[in-house]
Amino acid sequence: MRKIDIFDTTLRDGEQSAGINLNTAEKIEIAKQLERLGVSIIEAGFPASSPGDFEAVNKIARTVKNSIVTGLARCVKSDIDTTWEAIKVAEQPHIHVFLATSPIHMEYKLKKSPDQVLEQAVETVKYAKKFFPLVQWSAEDGFRSDRDFLARIIEKVIEAGATTINVPDTVGYASPQEYGELFKFLRENVRGADNVKFSAHCHDDLGMAVANSIAAIQNGADQVECTINGIGERAGNASLEEIGVAMHIRNDLYQVETGLNLKEIKRTSQLVSRLTGVVIQPNKAVVGKNAFAHESGIHQDGVLKNKETYEIISPELVGEGEVPLVLGKHSGRAAFRDRAEKMGFDLSDDKLNKAFQEFKKLADRKKVITEEDLMTLLTEQQVLIEDVPLFELKSVQVSYGTENIPTATASVVTPEGEVKTLAATGSGSVEAIFNTLEQLVNATVNILDFRVKSVGKGRDALGDALVNLRYNGYTSTGRDASQDVLEATAKAYLNAINRHLIQDSIRSKETAEV
């Protein structure tokens, strides 16, 4: 059976989505989960784009052993040098270089002739090959490129040493028939095509990214590039979970295997959603909360008689399903640690203790501790950065009535260890909280996005708050969860401010080193 490599670009193309701002600890956590999922290649970032991206790619390359780790680079020698410094510690150093090949990109963006673009591509692939055994070359906007020129430049970069050729539908313009035909054409007309992998990378601007990716596989692509939950620039990328499950369920038709551990799909999807703050739409295929829900009486009757009447995917296949409840307020630390490890978390003793304390507090208030509750508590500790003094919320109180002006009072421990009590009013409870906490930073804070959603079901469910804000020229996103949505909101706001402080600390260290 033909093997299709799954190239995951959640941490690179996915993170470019508007409003997503992952720190290094969060990227490492996602990378470790992608490794558990069994993806072939993890595109960890764009090392030359920023010191933060360089650090994340380097740490992921050191951490991940069972998936290939790659970094993106322009067809520029300095980018390749930076990527080598970040990736050289990996088990199998891999680089992904790209250069635009469509007429509109070459004329208006690159301002180069086709011959100049070809020369630059060949020169940089040869240069990259001096360092990297695995070199992937991408023809940016490949689908809208002239086919004869595309075939010619691909031939030359293969001769220069490229091991993978990626032909993206960068703007999501293709139809499945057209995109499949392009791969067939290249396979049949490019000298050396049998010596390299061909890769598909599809965007979802017209809603056809998954269909286009599958069409490419059917016409000779050996690799598909995708993201968890389909996140990405504009309308997003091809959805990894949809492609992986489609290949499995319709194996009779596609006759390929991906090597994915499909039971890790649900957990991976939840982790990415939690850390990026991008909510999964309820009717999202495979991972949406309604993906296995049956409302219609006719459907319910059929499923009760035989699940296959209306369920072509079993919830268990993707790791969805009820987990036996073994933890409660009387559970001990050993049982808690065991569950954390089984869920894939690797926490230090200090972080485990903090998570256990939060678990005990929640167990005293909540009748049923769900897997989603544990996921929330453990994830927050796993990605916590401890070496920078931060703000800590001690208490928050809101006075509200339909006839009164909402007033919030908060007690906060500052990074210097001082306890400050602050108060402010607002047009609503949430604005009162924001106005109160804004006094901590002596700057105007602009709220770009604010959302609260429930974690799990029931009236005692945790409220998961997300605050995206901007001040002092930088944007950061904070998250937190609590049974009280106003407490969760205050904590999420401080989390965003703390992430800003962490980035300030990193920038200060980088300046000092320079």
Tokens of 68: 């290939």
Measured CA to CA, the distance from residue 67 to residue 80 in angstroms comes to 21
DSSP string, 253-309: HH-EE----GGGHHHHHHHHHHHH--PPPTT-TTTSTTTT---SHHHHHHHHH-GGG
Q: What is the DSSP letter of 108?
A: I
Helix axes 240-249, 209-218, angle to 10 degrees: 50
Residue with the two structure tokens 């600890």: 25
Measured CA to CA, the distance from residue 153 to residue 98 in angstroms comes to 12
Measured CA to CA, the distance from residue 356 to residue 107 in angstroms comes to 59
- Three-state DSSP at 212 gives helix
According to the annotation, is 480 in a ligand binding site? no
Cα→Cα distances 347→69, 145, 271, 336, 442, Å: 23, 48, 16, 12, 35
Query: If residue 63 lies in a helix (H) or strand (E), which one and from where to where?
Result: helix 51-63
Closest CA to 448 of 16, 21, 13, 26: 21
Measured CA to CA, the distance from residue 479 to residue 464 in angstroms comes to 7
CB 126 within 8 A of CB 158: no
According to the annotation, is 203 in a ligand binding site? yes
- Three-state DSSP at 183 gives helix
Partners of residue 144 on adjacent β-strands? none
Measured CA to CA, the distance from residue 199 to residue 187 in angstroms comes to 12
According to the annotation, is 8 in a ligand binding site? no
Closest CA to 93 of 70, 121, 115, 123: 70
Measured CA to CA, the distance from residue 239 to residue 292 in angstroms comes to 18
Cα→Cα distances 207→223, 350, 508, Å: 20, 45, 43
Q: What is the DSSP letter of 323?
A: P
CB 229 within 8 A of CB 241: yes
CB 190 within 8 A of CB 223: no
Half-sphere exposure of 155 (CA within 13 A, CB side): 11
CB 380 within 8 A of CB 464: no
CB 201 within 8 A of CB 140: no
* Residues tagged in the binding site annotation for Mn(2+): 13, 201, 203, 237
* Residues tagged in the binding site annotation: 13, 201, 203, 237
